[in-house]
Amino acid sequence: MTPRLVPLPEARPLLPLLEAASVLGISRSTAYLMAQGQTFPIEVLRIGGRYQVRTADLRRYLHLPFDDPAAAP
């Protein structure tokens, strides 16, 4: 699977697991297996029946700058 470029705005605090997986070049099935086994590269949140990741965590993992200084860790 080829990683795709996706904007990661701080205004969107959570991303669906599959969107984060796509950014990281991880396939759908592998992403779910990693989420269930707690081996996804960043923390995965289970909200209702959905897997989500924090946009800030993904940006930090990718060493991307934060546009909003208040959103930086």
Express each pLDDT in 13-72 by its tens digit.
899 999 999 999 999 999 999 999 999 999 999 999 999 999 889 989 998 876 654 554
Q: Is residue 57 part of a domain?
A: yes
Q: Is the pLDDT of residue 8 over 90?
A: no
Q: Is residue 11 part of a domain?
A: no
What's the domain count of the chain?
1
Q: Within 13 A of 73's CA, how many CA atoms are on the CB side?
A: 11
Q: Is residue 7 part of a domain?
A: no
The model's confidence at residue 5, banded by pLDDT at 50, 70 and 90, is low
Residue 45 sits in which domain range? Answer: 17-64
What's the N-to-C CA distance of the chain in angstroms? 31
pLDDT of residue 29: 97
